[in-house]
Structure 1
């Protein structure tokens, strides 16, 4: 955390809380003491879920954390509040749960006689809405987007047989307006890019803890509109810079 930015030691949402601290025994024991005091005062036991450390953390530090907290260790990636938390480059395997949700919903529709019009409505209203929450926070790999649309296309063209039927038109051509020969199904890659631009716009126009943190870390010396991505920056900032090129193309 940059010294000029907000010094975040915890994040809370309703009844969930994430505590950030070093791995020093004295500090960890102090945190546990406060948790125990809260339990005694409220009469409610805190659900001690897990702790996570730097992936390069030593086994000695991890064992010491276990002894001080009696928590279970959980490695990255993991899901918090429905959003994937990971370190480093994104991998297709990290987003398997998002694809699984779509596949489960499709399995529930097997054996039902649906017209092409009915399938179109289900894809637009139901299937497209399932990944929106994740897409609004992070950009999945292009392979995940392609896999989602592969499931959409298979559902649209197939009936009840176990074998795949011929796809009479590419999914890319289907995802265009009706006056251009398509059926107005949104392209998932366009949806992902649109939500990425929305994140950039919120970063530039809204004041929030997240925006203050990002500006202090990456833009404390230069304006966000001209700050470039370098190899030392995170992948999160790289995605933000890519979205900026779409949201504010006239700057360069």
Structure 2
């Protein structure tokens, strides 16, 4: 992590010296040059050839200084509204391949539309794999409940904390859970003994405590409201405020938020729709 911090400082110094032109985001022109998580680094820049060459030079200096090697075979240049020939030339300069959005990064699809069911396909496939019918044949009802809870709790938090789950996806997940819980030994669907609402309800309310992915999704999304009001002004908050013309010092509940399509404005009490 020490070397990663050095690379972060090298990029920051290059931006201050004018060697790198950062990407300007939103109305307030928030400067965005790079993001780092562990050993993954995302670089941002306008379509400016000298900036890209300077990124390459900084990375080479970092290699010589640290003894580490940048894996360009696993790196990609993702252009947005850029000339095709220019992109090919820049890929040659960097020694990497070209990619297009959406791309998978840290377990989520960057650039994918979260309103589409296909964006949630990895989640659905994971649940289908974990709750396969051959496992149901060797488990009693108590064992099935434990496995359903385990699978529900292991759903990728990135998806649920960043995107609002479409109703069709929630219904598909419930269908998989119902089929697994009530299936017979021969794999056929058996008779439901109690309503699914009771299965989802907490044990202290007389339910079986399976839980509801939609409720968990809403709770994780509301966490961002809390962070917006409590944190000073981290980079993510600056970008959100700049793109949506929000005041970072005023709570979201007291501000007017953009509608889903970006046309017109809506009051904060309907703001959960932005995450749909």
Q: Tell me the TM-score normalised to structure 1 length.
A: 0.80
Give the distance between the partners of 1:92 and 1:5, measured in 2 at CA. 33
| Kept after mapping to 2: 8 A contact 1:25/1:64 | no
Alignment match of 2:46 (pick from 12, 22, 25): 22
Which residue in the other structure is 1:100 paired with? Answer: 125
CA distance in 2, matches of 1:106, 1:129: 13
Q: 2:211 matched to 1:186?
A: yes
Q: Alignment length, in residue pairs?
A: 239
Cα deviation 1:156-198 (Å, max 9, x = unaligned): 1114424333434443342224465532221111111111111
Contact 1:172 1:187 in 2 (8 A): no
Gaps of 5+ in 1: 245-252
Q: Where does the alignment leave 5 or more consecutive residues of structure 2 unmatched? A: 1-24
RMSD: 3.0
Alignment of 1:208-247 (within 5 A): 208-218=234-244, 219-220=246-247, 223=250, 224=252, 225-230=254-259, 231-232=261-262, 241-242=271-272
Per-residue CA shift, 1:181-237, capped at 9, x if unaligned? 53222111111111111122112222332123222332049943322214437xxxx
Q: Secondary structure at the match of 1:163?
A: coil
The secondary structure found in structure 2 opposite 1:11 is strand
Given the two structures, how large is their TM-score scaled by the length of structure 2? 0.74
SS at match of 1:174: helix
State the structure with bigger RCO (CA 8 A, min sep 6), 1 or 2.
1
Equivalent residue, structure 2, for 1:120: 145
Distance 1:157 1:88, change over 3 A: closer
Residue 77 of structure 1 pairs with residue 102 of structure 2: yes
Stretches (4+) displaced over 6 A:
none
CA distance in 2: counterparts of 1:172 and 1:215, whole angstroms: 39
Please give the residue correspondences for 1:25-36 in structure 2 after superposition, counting only pairs within 5 Å: 25-36=49-60
